[in-house]
Structure 1
Amino acid sequence: MISTLAPPPADATSTADTYAGLRAGLDKLRADGLYRDFVACSYLAEDRGHALHQGRRIQVWCTNDYLGMSQHPDVMRAQIASTLRHGTGNGGSRNIAGTSEAHVELETLLAGWHAKERALVFNSGYVANVETLTTLLRAEPRTMVFSDALNHRSLIEGVRTSGNDKYVFAHNDLTDLELALAAQPLDRPKLIVFESVYSMDGDVAPIREICDLAERYHAQTYLDETHAIGVLGPTGAGVCEEIGESRATFVQGVFGKAVGATGGYVAGPDVPLDYTRSHAPGFIFTTTIPRASLDAALASLSVIRSPEGAGMRERLHANAELMRRRLTEAGIAHVPAPTHLVPILVPGGNRVKRVSRRLLDEHSVYVQPINFPSVPKGGERFRVTVAPFRTEAQIEGFVEALARCLADDPS
């Protein structure tokens, strides 16, 4: 059969030329030491904290699975049993046969856990932030947003995409925030967007004081508890539960970190979340989380909220404190965070990558380098997590390996 398609013009732009700009962008990332390499690792459920990489067993020290719940026997059994009963997917969006009984049970549990009227489950924490913020802010275009300077990209994107007026206040700076709030008419709608635990430094927001300012200046608050869910509070509900603070208007959390499953959620007042459910494109037009993953999240939350979970949190924080002490004794610079996160400072984009590679190649230790734009240039680091099941010997072995690699690459 003879093709009737006309041949391209002789001077047509080639595919190579079409991607020249993209290739140049990638080349610049490499030249600046900012190109990101992914390390393939397959976690081993029978040996938590370990994974297979290129056929050998390695230790993983940078996972956000803070409690190791993704390999907890109860959680794995729940997901396997649910898969055998319900299958591997839900087959549709929430409004087209995709809402399972597990969705309803999970949202009811989450609302009660955070003492809110309603909760809404999304496919990820990122989606939860972007869709909720964008939808609610666009519905109230006069709302002025006050956003912490170190907020996660998902919060930034939700605010930016809405198009609402915003003020970025200095990180955890109550004076800067109050001056900005006071500059607006008292009757103007306002929303303060911030996190409870900031993942790069492991520091904690002054939540109670921010809620005081919100009351004084008639503002609502949107609090991202992503890195606190499961690891802080008597039942793991986060920093608000830890300090007995219930005034945050909206609380966001995730299942993909300490809960060890997948997905995210927002808890808050009924009407705004019902509006989000009814208008957010990222909620309406996407296939939902499989039932088995939701059942795994429910099983994990049952453990997290129990005395067993409390014991895991206690060991997690004890291990983090032990890691900080050993780093100090070894003369290794780190941020003295008050949480379960241990940021280890390794300035230099290329240097942090070299040290990471040596740890992996020579010591079978995987910790991902973190560089710009996640942190400022010169603030490159490892963000180490020390799960409850880590032993003192493992912690000391990690510090010794890191000390040797840093000594061999001092700048």
Structure 2
Amino acid sequence: MKGFEHLEEEIREWQENGVFRPLTELESDQESTVKIGGRKLIQLSSNNYLGLTTHPRLKEAALEAINVYGAGTGSVRTIAGTFSMHEAFEKKLADFKHTEAALVFQSGFTANVGVLGTILTDEDVVISDALNHASIIDGIRLTKAGRRIYQHADMDDLKKALEETQTARRRLVVTDGVFSMDGDVAPLPDIVELCEQYDAIVMVDDAHASGVMGKNGRGTVDHFGLHGRVHIQVGTLSKAIGVLGGYVAGPQVLRDYLIHRARPFLFSTSHPPAVTAACSEAIDVLLEEPELIDRLWENTRFFKDGLTRLGFNTGKSGTPITPVIVGNDALAMKLSDELIEEGVYAQGIVFPTVPRNQARVRTIVTAAHSKKELEQALEAFGRAGQKLGII
């Protein structure tokens, strides 16, 4: 159709550079292995950290909710779409996170956008880590607040930013708890100490720490023992929790304000009963089956050690997210393609998702992987890496 020539030209450039990829269609459920193109592959690209997407308790809870409440809710939360189960789940989530209140959004992305785009004005300043998630970046773009980006995990630069912005009504410092592309953990105790020193609000996006770090998967705030010192916790219900959605946990006044002013919350239909019931059951699983998290970390250590022994550059990851950094965009995609031939699905990640010359294949092991599957995956990485001259 005429009028889209500029888009066609850009796509042709992606194709020539070897970075254009169609969507991958899974023909099975999201387990440690998946069926793609009729083949069974070891899955190393999902966020299903604990295997909860197919946990029998979650499936049973979802089916029961459909039978009782139906397939959908038929309204936004502020009109007629708040069921008693929504309120009960948010109370359970707040108790789990050791906060006064919690509020569920349609996704982790809308949770970040909803908070940052709502509570800040042109009298405020938001200070953000350079490697924060795209949803944080977009949330900042929606506010008229001043902004300052500090170098990744650089506390000297954060201190400088706090010193330079003391005339603002309020400063909000926002960071990922676990950074999604590198797998490193934010120096949260240092961030909190600086913010207390300079009277700034702390906001942590624990998307990749929820269900993974802290006691029973409570996140980085619990991991570092910082309850009561972090003002806003954002997380996701679609990664380790295994279902769908995002949440904000913090003081009751924040929940009340967001209900009345956060546009993603105000103008989106509430989660269907099956989603809410499954998310609620997932919290119970975290509390009652902590061995899942233990298994996740055991598998993580095994796989990281194996990649290191093979000679791959895995960066500074300290979590189940383990990047295999190769640098060149096309080479990262070739490595991904070779791994598929070897029976492993691990997606290549290139610019603009990661900085230029930092292209990688990002891997995430789960509690559902067997040692045999991880051994097979390591053998595949070894063969593919040698073939491409990476190791």
Report TM bin, short chain: over 0.9
Q: Which residue, out of 86, 92, 104, partners 1:103?
A: 86
Deviation at 1:74, TM superposition (A): 0.6
Deviation at 1:186, TM superposition (A): 5.9
1:128 aligned onto 2:111 = yes
Letter in 1 for 2:7: L
- When Rg is computed on C-alpha atoms for both structures, the one with the higher figure is 1
* Superposed counterparts of 1:9-24, under 5 Å: 15-16=1-2, 18-24=3-9
Deviation at 1:93, TM superposition (A): 0.9
Spell out, residue by residue over 1:261-316, the C-alpha distance to the aligned partner (whole angstroms, 9 max, x if none). 1000101122232111111221111112101111000111100122x1x2111111
**Structure 2 counterpart of 1:286:** 268
1:89 aligned onto 2:85 = no
SS of the residue aligned with 1:265?
A: strand
State the TM-score, normalizing by the size of structure 2. Answer: 0.96
Q: Which residue, out of 46, 50, 54, partners 1:71?
A: 54
Letter in 2 for 1:116: T
Distance 2:33 2:71 in 1: 26
Query: Does structure 1 conserve the Cα–Cα contact (< 8 Å) formed by 2:114 and 2:265?
Result: yes
1:407 aligned onto 2:386 = yes
1:43 aligned onto 2:24 = no
1:321 aligned onto 2:304 = no
**Structure 2 counterpart of 1:349:** 329
Q: Which residue, out of 198, 205, 216, partners 2:179?
A: 198
**Structure 2 counterpart of 1:298:** 280
Distance 1:227 1:36 in 2: 25
Distance 1:135 1:50, change over 3 A: same
Deviation at 1:187, TM superposition (A): 6.5
**Structure 2 counterpart of 1:359:** 339
Spell out, residue by residue over 1:163-211, the C-alpha distance to the aligned partner (whole angstroms, 9 max, x if none). 2111000111111111111123366311001111111111111111111
Deviation at 1:50, TM superposition (A): 1.7
Query: Does structure 2 conserve the Cα–Cα contact (< 8 Å) formed by 1:186 and 1:218?
Result: no
Query: Does structure 2 conserve the Cα–Cα contact (< 8 Å) formed by 1:92 and 1:288?
Result: yes
Q: Which residue, out of 126, 143, 157, partners 1:145?
A: 126
Letter in 2 for 1:206: P
Letter in 2 for 1:329: R
Deviation at 1:53, TM superposition (A): 1.4
Query: Does structure 1 conserve the Cα–Cα contact (< 8 Å) formed by 2:19 and 2:333?
Result: no
SS of the residue aligned with 1:95?
A: coil
SS of the residue aligned with 1:398?
A: helix
1:159 aligned onto 2:159 = no
Deviation at 1:95, TM superposition (A): 1.9
**Structure 2 counterpart of 1:381:** 360
Query: Does structure 2 conserve the Cα–Cα contact (< 8 Å) formed by 1:186 and 1:217?
Result: no
Structure 1, unaligned runs of 5 or more: 1-14
Distance 1:243 1:185 in 2: 27
**Structure 2 counterpart of 1:173:** 154
Deviation at 1:389, TM superposition (A): 2.6
Distance 1:90 1:172 in 2: 42
1:211 aligned onto 2:192 = yes
Deviation at 1:364, TM superposition (A): 2.4
Letter in 2 for 1:270: Q
Deviation at 1:349, TM superposition (A): 1.2
Deviation at 1:110, TM superposition (A): 1.7
Distance 1:66 1:405 in 2: 25
Distance 2:111 2:56 in 1: 28
**Structure 2 counterpart of 1:254:** 236
Q: Which residue, out of 239, 246, 270, partners 2:220?
A: 239
Distance 1:187 1:356 in 2: 47
Moved more, 74-83 or 339-348: 339-348
1:113 aligned onto 2:96 = yes
Letter in 2 for 1:150: L
Spell out, residue by residue over 1:50-99, the C-alpha distance to the aligned partner (whole angstroms, 9 max, x if none). 22212232221111011110111111111111112222111111123211
**Structure 2 counterpart of 1:3:** none
Distance 1:116 1:141, change over 3 A: farther
Matched residues, number: 389
Deviation at 1:248, TM superposition (A): 0.7
Moved more, 146-155 or 74-83: 74-83
Distance 1:325 1:214 in 2: 36
1:263 aligned onto 2:248 = no
Distance 2:28 2:115 in 1: 32
Distance 2:308 2:104 in 1: 41
Distance 1:115 1:78 in 2: 24
Distance 2:36 2:320 in 1: 26
